[in-house]
Chains A and B, each alone.
Chain A
Amino acid sequence: MSRKKLTRRNAIRSAGVLGALGLAGCSQLSGGGGGDSDQLQAAFVYQTSLGDVGWARAHENGRQAMDDSFDWITTEYSDGVPGNEVRSVFEQYASSGYDIVYGCTTEYQDPMLQVAEEYPDVTFEHCNGFETAENMGRYMGKFYQGWYLCGVAAGHLTESDTLGMVVPIPIPQIIRQINAFTLGARTVNEDATTKVRWLNGWADPSGARQAVNAIADEGADAIGSNMVTPAALQAATEREAFNFGVNTSMADQAGEYYATAQINNWAPFYKQSAKDVRNGEWSSDSLWGGLETDIVDIDDFGPKVPDDVVSDVETKRSEIENGERSVWTGTKFEGWSDAELFSDVGSYVEGVEGSVPSS
């Protein structure tokens, strides 16, 4: 019953989207853009100001790839929009003829839900949340898989069997990544342990630098950073410790001991969702895509990483993609559903030193 109802609603909604396509053409006239009624308009909203690296830049790379791929789409973005101000930004896009609005951070969830209700003919996509609506989907990548592959490389590269990780705030998303990094290393190096430093913020260049130096002092020689700053990697290179970045490539900034980075590759998702909207096939769903979707990727390896390490990582990558390998096998998280993994990972696996800061 309910399924049937949903499909009917979806059909109506799709018709609405087609209607919006027509409207988009009209409103473009007033907006000063081109007047082609086949054009789709997509808007992207980022929380932080756009820099050369980091979370927002990864989304921006996806937007540009989408813009370059299709001549039937025009895209626009707003950056530096905090969660409490985003509602008016969504409203402005929705009311000026945009067909899809992508909200690229967790904090946008509640305002996006409200605006989605006001504009049922516009498609909304929210990154890294837990709510959906008929015209609002959510999407996220299993970035812990990328960290697992980084861990495999780190396990090979470390000589002291001591890894390090500098991380922002203790939430499941980050704890998963620390665990995966350690588990990856332990597939090739049973003695590997990880030292963790929490920085209580997402971008803290001087704090990240100090944290890297502190764990390098304790012997870590392969260090991952989940901070939106290359400063951590630069500090690691200065200490001749292999380093792993996050979100986007940091090869240009990190220096000679750059190993690789866990990459957020949003382009495949953005392209697919735009195509779906254009074809009237879009439906609200919850995507948590892994390596097999290409949303999760790792960067090209740095010059100091030997070829046999690279090929071992590639092997394990294809094993995960084929479903022959799971990150969580043999841990307390084995057999957990995606929903549990998404929300409830609150402690370290064996091999990570200490415990998650009390909460």
Chain B
Amino acid sequence: MLVDIEIDAREQTPSWIAYGTPLFAIAAALAVSVVALVAIGVNPIAAYVEMFLRPFGTVATISNVLVRATPLILVGLGVYLPMKAGLWNIGAEGQLLAGAIVGTWIAINVTLPQLLVIPVILFGSAIAGGLWAFIPAWLRAKWGISEIITTLLFTFIAADIQLYLVRGPMQGGSGGFPQTELLPEAAEFPAIPGTRAHVGLLVALLIVVLVYVAMNRTRFGFRVNFVGSNADAAEQAGMSRYRVYLLTLVAGGALAGLAGISEIAGNQSRLHASFAPGYGYTAVPIALLGRNGVFRMLLAALFFALLFVGGNRVTVAMEVPSAIIDIVQALVILFLITAEFFQRYRLSVSIGRRDDGRSIRGTEVTTDD
């Protein structure tokens, strides 16, 4: 018996598929994860309720999701924007670190009233993140050197600089631990009243709107989309690939830099050696899931935050090791990204013999010899 699979690109994605597949993908991932949960004797329904519903229980738990989401939205944008131009900002983590370092330095060393110092901190972090992306951006734009490699390698440099700074020149607090002083109160991002979410979230949402407008209502956005879908055609049409590459990657770096400082000044209050466990890498699947529109990217970032916060809730409420939660999270992400494929391609499967004859002809040739 022969199974024949044909894959065709969809010209148009029916709306039930566009909206239904993410939900179906999550459901399918959770169904598969049941195996892991049952294997360690945990009631999967209770685990899923804890993971996906309980985080919406109170203002405090919703705050936790929003606090987690804030840097993810910003750094997600930092990957999303270059992705629109066809670039892979795999090293957003490094730009995030650069923003966190410079922002923390300004916060500790510049004394200004809160209304002034916070914009200065934000500005400094954005510049730092942007500069960290500039060299890979220029190398890509000018010489075509893969930004995937260079941004990633720049991350290692940033990580080593950060480690050096927090145990050396910027080390603070007693005990000689690799961390800085606490940020002064004026530099801490104020909380949104009634919640623990902070102004970083408002900044992130504002930028989401700005990016939406820029991408959909401006000539710049048109160029980025054009270069992203077909760079050669865009050049033919007289657009500067060089400028688009440079601008989107540097802007992406600036956004990642903002993510870094918003996590420090909004949540952690000081820069630790290990303050950002891979936000820059998490941003890649977030941008990938949301690449069809910036509001989708926002949803993806919120969903990832829910996955992280909810995952922690399960390990607390039940005897579930974090490795099992990692499996659930990874399956959800894997299914979501796979589902993207089905939105864009049509799959037709036919089962049965087909009189293709190619293989038969092949055997005939060998027997003739």
Contacts and interface: CB of A to CB of B under 8 A. Distances in A.
Contacts of A344: 176
Contacts of A160: none
Given A92-B317, A107-B272, A110-B182, A78 B171 contact: no
12 contacts: A78-B312, A80-B315, A80-B325, A81-B312, A81-B315, A107-B179, A107-B272, A169-B167, A169-B273, A342-B176, A343-B174, A358-B168
B211 interface: no
B275 A110 contact: no
A110 B178 CA distance: 14
Given A49-B323, A50-B321, A82 B277 contact: yes
B19 interface: no
B323 A80 contact: yes
Interface in B254-291: 263, 267-270, 272-277
A49 B177 CA distance: 22
A200 interface: yes
Interface in A62-112: 76, 78-85, 87-89, 91-93, 96, 106-107, 110-111
Contacts of B163: 169, 200
Contacts of B269: 110
B322 A49 contact: yes
B108 to A, nearest CB: 15
Contacts of B315: 78-81, 89
Which of A43, A92, A200 has the most CB atoms of chain B within a 10 A radius of its CB?
Answer: A92
Given A80-B323, A84-B263, A110-B182, A359 B174 contact: no
B220 interface: no
Contacts of B309: 85, 88
Interface string A193-204: 000000010000
B176 A171 contact: yes
| B: contact size bracket | 35 or more
A200 B160 contact: yes
A172 B174 CA distance: 11
A219 interface: no
A169 to B, nearest CB: 6
Given A78-B312, A83-B274, A84-B275, A110 B322 contact: no
A38 B317 CA distance: 21
Given A78-B312, A83-B272, A85-B68, A171 B322 contact: no
Contact of B308 (A50, A76, A85): A85
Given A76-B316, A80-B323, A107-B272, A342 B178 contact: no
A130 B313 contact: no
Nearest to A47: B274
Interface of B: 60-61, 64, 68, 160, 163-164, 167-169, 171, 173-179, 182, 263, 267-270, 272-277, 308-309, 312-313, 315-317, 319, 321-323, 325-326
Interface residues of A, number: 39
A107 B269 CA distance: 12
A107 to B, nearest CB: 5
A342 B175 contact: yes
Given A78-B312, A79-B321, A84 B175 contact: no
A88 B312 contact: yes
Contacts of B323: 49, 80
A85 B310 CA distance: 11
Contacts, number: 106
B175 A359 contact: no
A106 B308 CA distance: 21
A170 B167 CA distance: 8
A11 B225 CA distance: 67
7 tightest A-B CB contacts, nearest first: A80-B322, A359-B168, A172-B176, A130-B175, A88-B64, A78-B315, A82-B277
A280 interface: no
A290 interface: no
Given A80-B326, A85-B312, A359-B164, A91 B60 contact: yes
A345 to B, nearest CB: 8
Nearest to B175: A130
B322 A78 contact: yes
Which of B309, B315, B316, B323 has the most CB atoms of chain A within a 10 A radius of its CB?
Answer: B316
Nearest to B163: A200
Which of B68, B179, B319 has the most CB atoms of chain A within a 10 A radius of its CB?
Answer: B179
A346 B115 CA distance: 39
Contacts of A82: 274, 277
A170 to B, nearest CB: 6
Nearest to B322: A80
Given A49-B321, A79-B321, 14 more contacts: A43-B316, A49-B326, A79-B315, A80-B323, A81-B312, A83-B274, A83-B275, A88-B312, A89-B312, A92-B312, A106-B177, A107-B272, A342-B174, A343-B176
B169 to A, nearest CB: 8
A61 interface: no
A87 B64 CA distance: 9
A60 B267 CA distance: 28
Interface in A304-359: 342-346, 358-359
A22 interface: no
A173 interface: yes
Given A91-B60, A343-B176, A84 B322 contact: no
Contacts of A49: 321-323, 326
Contact of A171 (B167, B182, B316): B167
Given A49-B323, A358-B168, A84 B312 contact: no
A273 B59 CA distance: 33
A88 B182 contact: no
Interface string A28-44: 00010000000000010
B160 A171 contact: no
Contact of B268 (A83, A173, A200): A83
A129 interface: yes
Nearest to A140: B175
Contacts of A78: 312, 315-316, 322
